[in-house]
Amino acid sequence: MSNIRKCKVLVVGAGPGGYVAAIRSAQLGMDTVIVEGQRAGGTCLIRGCIPSKAMIHAAHRLHNICDHMDEGGHMGISVTAPPVLNMQGLVEWKEKIVTKLNKGVEHLIKANGAELITGWATFVDAKTVSVKTADGEMRIEAEHVIMALGSVPTELPFMPFENNVISSKGALELQNVPEHLVVVGGGYIGLELGITYKLLGSEVTILEAMDSVVPIFDKEVRRPVELYLKKNKVKVHTGVFAKGVEDIKGGKTKVFFTPKDADKDEPPQEIIADKVLVTVGRRPNVKRCGIEATGVSLDEMGFVKVDERCATNMRNVWAIGDVSNMGPMLAHDASFQGELVAEIIAGKKRIYDPVAVPAIVFTEPEIVSVGLSPDEAKEAGHPIITGKFPLGANGRALTQEAEKTAGFIRVVAREDTHQILGIQCVGTHVSELSGEFTLALEMGAVLEDIAGTIHAHPTMSEIFHEGVLATLGHAIHTTN
C-alpha cells in the first residue's frame, strides 16, 4: 500500500511559480508539500532563462575578443592569437550556474518549512496525487492544490524533435557549435539563441512565418534588432512557412520552406543545416499528469481556465504560471501568481491585477517593453504624447559601447494628465532598467515624478529621465 501524506497545501511543480508558492505558503504557517519530477527551478532555471543568458554572455565575450583582431585591437587591447572556444567547457560552466541556483532553491524550500518530494505526480482526483519516487509510490492528499505544471516547447507534427531537429532545451546542450543553424521561428527565443550561436561561430538562418521577426513589437522598436541581424549576416526569411525536414548524408538535414504567397504547385525551397532549432512557441504541460481526473476546465489551447484569483472551476484548486490562461508565459509573472495564491489560501484578499508585466528580449540589442505602445494607447482611447532619447547621448552607454546598436528609450504618456502609460527601450544592457519602468507604471507615476527624481550619473538609468524630459518637450542632452 502506498504511503499517504496529508497536507494543507500541495504544489505540483517546482518552477518559478511553484517554488515561490510553496515557500510563501510555508512562511504563512501552512503545512506545505511541493512535488517536482526533475530538479527544482523549472524550465526557466534549468533549461531556459538562466542557462540561455549564461550562453549569451559567453557568446558576447568571445565575439568582442574576435571582432577587432583584424584591426590590431580595440580600446588599446589586442590579442596575439585567436581565442579558442571549448563548447563542452561552456556547457559545463553553464551547468555549474544552473546547479548552484537549483541547490539554492531546494535549500530555500526546506529552510522555510515546506517539504520537497522528488518524483512524478499523477492526479488521482482534484485533491490527490500519486507520486512515483525513488523509494516507491506515495499518495498525497491536500486541502488546496496549486497546479504549477509549466509548459513545454511546441513540436511541429512534420518536424518532430529528433536527430538534428532540436528544441530550445537541446540548443542549450549542444557539445559542438553547428556549422549552419536554421532557426524555425523568429520570436524572442529563436532570436536569442540564433544570435548566440552566430556569435559563437555558426552560420545562422531564421525562418519566420510573420512579416517580421519579434512581431509582438512595433516597427520602430524592432528596427535596431533588424539592423543588427543584417550587419552581422544573420539570414532572415520572413513570410515563409517551414514544411518539413529530410536527413541527408554527412549527418546534415535538408529543411524545406515556402513563401506564404507561393503558388500551390511551386516546389519548396531548401536549406542544408547541421541543426534545426524549432522555436514556434510553448504549450501548457498538461499531458501525462492525469489532469482529466481533476475535473478542471481547459480552454481550446489546453490552458487551465482560472479567474482573477487564479482559481479553477474546482473548489480550492488553483493554477499559476504557464499552465494557466492568466497573464503572459513569463517566469516573473508565474512567481507573482504563486505568492498571490499562497496569500489567498491563507485568508488575504488579493486578485491578479498588475498594471504592467515587463517583457524583455535578450537579443543584441536587448528589448524592454512595459505597458502600452503608442498604437496600443491610442487604440485604448488615450490622448497621448511621446518622447524619445537615444542611447548615443548617454555617457555610460558610450563607455560600454551600448550606443552602437542605435538604441533608444521611448516614453508614452497621457497628454492631459501626464500619467505614464508605457515605456519601450532597445539597446545593449537595457534589461536592467525594466524594474524602474515597471515601478513607475505600478505606482501611477506622472512625467513630473520622474523628471523631479535625481538619477545618478553616469548610469544608464539617466536615459529614462531624459526620455521623460523629451516627452515634456525639454530634453537636456539631445536636440530631438
Residues recognised as catalytic: 457
How far is the C-alpha of 53 from the C-alpha of 179, rounded, in Å? 22
How far is the C-alpha of 283 from the C-alpha of 156, rounded, in Å? 12
Name every residue whose Cβ is closer than 8 Å to that of residue 216 and which is 6 or more positions away in sequence: 187, 359
DSSP states of 19-70 as a string?
A: HHHHHHHHHTT--EEEEESS-TTHHHHHHSHHHHHHHHHHHHHHHHHHTTGG
Name every residue whose Cβ is closer than 8 Å to that of residue 104 and which is 6 or more positions away in sequence: none
Q: Is the dihedral of CA 429, 432, 438, 440 positive or negative?
A: negative
Q: Where are the alpha helices (DSSP H) in 114-187?
A: 168-171
Asked if 423 contacts 355 with a C-beta cutoff of 8 angstroms, the reply is no
C-alpha cell at 107: 535549500
How far is the C-alpha of 165 from the C-alpha of 47, rounded, in Å? 17
Helix axes 219-231, 188-200, angle to 10 degrees: 20
How far is the C-alpha of 322 from the C-alpha of 301, rounded, in Å? 12
Residue 456 gets which letter from DSSP? P
How far is the C-alpha of 14 from the C-alpha of 9, rounded, in Å? 14
Name every residue whose Cβ is closer than 8 Å to that of residue 124 and which is 6 or more positions away in sequence: 130, 139, 290, 293
How far is the C-alpha of 470 from the C-alpha of 106, rounded, in Å? 47
CA dihedral in degrees (117, 122, 125, 130; nearest 10)?
-50
b/e 26-53 (16+ beta carbons within 10 angstroms → b): bbbebbbbbbbeebbbbbbbbbbbbbbb
How far is the C-alpha of 192 from the C-alpha of 214, rounded, in Å? 11
C-alpha cell at 421: 502609460
